[in-house]
Structure 1
Amino acid sequence: MYSVIVVADDLTGAMDTSQGFAARGYEAAVVADPEADKGAVEEEGAVLGINTDTRYDDEGDAARSVSEAVEATPARTVYKKIDSTLRGNFAAEVDAALDAAGSELALVAPAFPSIGRTTEDGVHYVDGTPVSETEYGDDEKGPASSSIPELFASVDRPVETVSHAAVVSGDDGIAAAVERYDRPPVVVCDAVEDDHLADIAAAADGLDALYVGSGGLAAHVPVRGSEPDFESSRRFSEGGALGVVGSVSATTLAQLERVPEEAVVPVDGTDLVVGEEPDAAVERAVRRLREGRPAVLTAATDESTIERTHAAGREAGLASAAVRERVASGLASAAADVLDEEPPSGLLLTGGDIAVAVIRELGATTIRLTGEEVEAGIPLGTFADGRAAEVPLVTKAGGFGSEETIVNCLAVFSEDDA
């Protein structure tokens, strides 16, 4: 039995949320590829992150995958990771996880104030803007509303919003909400500061809660049955770092602009759509790594390249999901070719789809977290198995980080303080 399992709908989410436990000294591993053999995964331990890879799945399929993950992995505490911008099938997945875990409530707090995600009066914000009014609302699985209770309308459960004042007072807070209903309720908690998440976790102590949140709440959830005794022993080899950027978010594009132009290795997305191999890009990336310099493979350097790729997909009769899959697969194949020629000092993967595609291409299943992070929500790990075993790895969600984040991630692989 695990002390905690983190069930996430994409890999970067499984990583940054499991980091909330690893940073406190608990040994944590993440199953990256839900389709792979789990031979590298211990049968018990402190924290196990599980990537169901269901963000863009049909709602019913996503719910079944979550149920199966929870039921197949005994744990004292279940943490259902949801996207901090409320994308995906999160209401259906929370409902499924609550049934599978048999908990007495779903404690929902998706806020991550340190990276600009806050919740107030049940409304969720990104950098002060209601989330449905941001670029994330335009995602094909984006939130139709910024009101979290409204997004749970499709779930046949009582839903309550609890203010931070009520959480702290306890008079009409989390425990009181549980007592009012015969069926396990969904309790949505406000949080506009990181300390508010600590108060929420403390207020739920003693309750059998399904914790539901992004990476912020995970830093405060108690771990029962394990002691924080893990110490990192990571080392970086000589050579250049390799980045693979699959996200097309505005945040990631702004971060790419800060990368020195010579380090960016563009891959033609239209070629990937039609199945052409990016041999020239692979050769250029290998050459830079051999010179001890970083290389960043990407098929999306700006909005115009993104639109050209999608136009090529439409011309080929492909849906947007198929275009994403072909680009991710092509970038992953290119990254694997580079690693086979010249192992990097470390690997940066940006975007959940590309992260899974690369890890799958490398024959890996599991990532072990070191407990360290480059910035909030951007953890450092190492491959546990596959062709890149022991290679350091950083995963970053597309919308996370400052404008210098990609540069900082590449730079961390050149440091060796062991």
Structure 2
Amino acid sequence: MVELAVIADDFTGALDTGIKFAKAGMKTQVMLHSDFHFSEVNSACEVLVIDTETRHLKPESAYQIVYTLVKRCRAGHISRFYKKTDSALRGCIGKELTALCDALGESVEFIPALPEENRITENGIQYVNQVPVAQSIFGKDPFEPVRHSRIADIIHEESEIEVVSIKRMEQAEDLDTHCIRVYDASTEQDILDRGIALRKKGCLRVMAGCSGFAAYLPEILGVSREREKQLCKTRSLFILCGSVNKITEKQLICAQKQGFQRICLNIRQKLQPDYFESEEGKEFLRFFKKSCRRKRPVILDVISENAIEEALYFAGKSKIHLEEVRSRIAKRLGELVNYWLTFDLKDTLVITGGDTVYAFLSGNNCSEIEPVCEVIPGVVLFHVKIGERKLQVISKSGGFGNEQVFLEVAKEILIHKEAHDIEEKLS
């Protein structure tokens, strides 16, 4: 029986939160669409994670999707809810939290910190690496910049719901009207302590936060069935990167310097509809196939020196919205993964960027995903079936991880000599 519904606005968020419960031994199922039917839910499922794909929607549309979903889940006898939010507070935070409040008629207990990634909450302000989030790289994002650092201001940009900011060691007052209570946290112990205090008050029915709060929920709820890490070692990795985040760019440069082959798509390869029908396109596909048949890890990415400027120019010239450019790039990367699948290499697929993962999975009609383990903290391995083939996939959010993240993944996944070579580069 489903005990908890986790609602995420993109796929990587759904996965990196769902794995926290799977690691604790709770039977976890990830649904790729919010319009799933309850007959698709495994009878043994304890935690149902739903990807609403609302990150890039207009706030009112996001509100309606979340509101309707929560009502359906409540009618399906699910009594506990967790709204997964981005640790940098991107997306329709205000509207989606308000939808949760409105659908259930209860307050939301919101702990947005992720201390292990240096994302903390102090005096109601979100910090990334000691910098207020709106002044960080997330405030400079070309697609979805975070315009405020005070969480109440972010919420009130979309909603008039009452927001109460609560400092560490401070107790929340009981309010008659439903509201969003935002809790400060600078350490993992802060999160654990606050969670335990909320449990004692009976306030863990409607919650929100990133994977930081979710990681402690099994312990707070009294579940402790830790599983062993389960993964299959492979000869190589194919890394598909659809993120243009500056953090990701540094990670790719680091991996390239350590011997990973990196293929950067140019503007035609990313966006020209009939590119692969041209002689140049066919030659690229032959080169790509030859590269992947070697044993060293291959990176295929969309980052170039002028990637953003080129995308803006293309959007203007083609008279299409920037969101359409984003969609086309994700679709093109999905096509290239499907081409890679025809090589039948038995390698591990690594995908960075929620849009890219979603485009690949939805393009292959994958509705159910099984979280398996965290390869390293915050980097999730899952199984999915493509036709009759069971594929091992690793997913990472674009803004997540240190510069050596791909080397660390390779060390864990590659077999024998290849992993030893990577370990020497890390040491």
Counterpart for residue 118 of structure 2: 116
Contact 2:195 2:220 (8 Å CA) reproduced:
no
Q: Distance in 2 between matches of 1:196 and 1:25?
A: 24
| TM superposition shift of 1:101 | 3.4
The letter for the 1-side match of 2:185 is: A
Query: What aligned pairs does 1:224-239 form with structure 2 within 5 A after superposition?
Result: 228-229=224-225, 231=227, 234-236=230-232, 238-239=234-235
Please report the RMSD computed on the Cα atoms of aligned residues, expressed in angstroms.
2.6
Q: Which residue of 2 aligns with 1:170?
A: none
Instruction: Give the number of aligned pairs.
Output: 403
Task: Say whether the 8 Å CA contact 1:27–1:46 is kept in structure 2.
Answer: yes
Measure how far apart 1:40 and its partner are: 6.0
Alignment of 1:199-348 (within 5 A): 199-205=193-199, 206-222=202-218, 228-229=224-225, 231=227, 234-236=230-232, 238-260=234-256, 263-275=261-273, 276-277=275-276, 278-300=281-303, 302-348=304-350
With over 3 angstroms needed to count, the CA separation of the structure-2 counterparts of 1:118 and 1:291, relative to structure 1, is same
2 CA distance for matches of 1:188 and 1:30? Answer: 27
Contact 2:196 2:220 (C-alpha < 8 Å) held by counterparts: no
- For residues 159 and 306 of structure 1, the distance between their equivalents in structure 2, rounded to whole angstroms, comes to 35
1:99 and 2:97 equivalent?
no
Query: How far off its partner does 1:223 sit?
Result: 7.8
Determine helix, strand or coil for the equivalent of 2:80.
strand
Give me the TM-score of the superposition, normalised by structure 1. Answer: 0.88
CA distance in 2: counterparts of 1:317 and 1:208, whole angstroms: 48
Residues of 1 paired with 2:250 and 2:148: CA distance? 26
Q: What's the counterpart of residue 169 of structure 1?
A: none
- The CA deviation at 1:274 is 2.1
Uncovered stretches (5+) of structure 2, i.e. residues with no partner: 420-427
Alignment of 1:14-413 (within 5 A): 14-34=14-34, 41-43=41-43, 45-73=45-73, 74=76, 75-102=78-105, 104-139=106-141, 140-153=143-156, 154-166=158-170, 173-174=171-172, 177=173, 179=174, 181-205=175-199, 206-222=202-218, 228-229=224-225, 231=227, 234-236=230-232, 238-260=234-256, 263-275=261-273, 276-277=275-276, 278-300=281-303, 302-370=304-372, 372-383=373-384, 385-387=385-387, 389-413=389-413
1: distance between equivalents of 2:326 and 2:39? 29
The farther-off stretch of 138-147 and 394-403 is 138-147
Which deviations, in whole Å up to 9, do the C-alpha atoms of 1:247-301 show, x marking residues without a partner?
000000000101236521222233332212354444334334433332221121x
CA distance change for structure 1 residues 282 and 68 in 2, over 3 Å: closer, same or farther?
farther
Q: Which one-letter code corresponds to 2:252 in the other structure?
A: L
Seen in structure 2, the aligned counterparts of structure 1 residues 64 and 45 have a Cα distance that, compared at 3 Å, is: same
Q: Where does the alignment leave 5 or more consecutive residues of structure 1 unmatched? A: 167-172
SS of structure 2 residue aligned to 1:394? strand
Shift, 1:402, TM fit:
0.4
Aligned-pair distance for 1:111? 0.5
Is the CA contact (8 Å cut-off) linking 1:263 and 1:294 kept in structure 2?
A: yes
In 2: Cα distance, 1:50 partner to 1:355 partner: 15
Q: What is the aligned-residue identity percentage?
A: 25
**Cα distance change on mapping 1:72 and 1:389 into 2, 3 Å:** farther
User: After alignment, is 68-77 or 356-365 more displaced?
Assistant: 68-77
Distance 1:353 1:253 in 2: 17
Flag the 1:203–1:283 CA change in 2: closer, same or farther, 3 A. Answer: farther
Question: CA 1:198 to 1:223, structure 2 compared with 1: closer, same or farther past 3 Å?
Answer: closer
Contact in 2 for aligned 1:28/1:49 (Cα 8 Å): yes
**For residues 37 and 299 of structure 1, what CA distance do their matches in structure 2 show?**
35
